[in-house]
Amino acid sequence: MVLILAGLKSIPKELEEAGEVDGASRWHTFWLIKLPLLKTPIMVTSIILMLSNFNNVDVPMVLTGGGPGDATNVITMELYDQGLCTITSG
């Protein structure tokens, strides 16, 4: 959220004012001016969150091992299990 907020703060007011002068609605201002300028912060944030979530395998694995049943199984544990089963059985 901090990266997205910093990206929003870095958008020059002149661009928003130019959109208003040209008759753009708030939706068009967001879609055609702000969103293209926020692509880089959104991509950086997405990459950081994705890598952070892939590291989320150790705590559930140590605490519960995914059990009882599959109640505490997370996507990264499933990927880990499928990757190891594929390697060991293939």
Query: In Å, what is the CA distance from 32 to each residue of 60, 78, 81?
Result: 42, 39, 43
Structure confidence by residue, pLDDT tens digits, 6-21: 999 999 999 999 999 9
Residue 86 is predicted with a pLDDT of 65
Would you say 23 and 64 are in contact if contact means Cβ atoms under 8 Å apart? no
Amino acid at site 54: F
Structure confidence by residue, pLDDT tens digits, 59-75: 877 888 767 877 777 88
Structure confidence by residue, pLDDT tens digits, 21-68: 999 999 999 999 999 999 999 999 999 988 887 777 778 778 887 678
Residue 88 is predicted with a pLDDT of 58
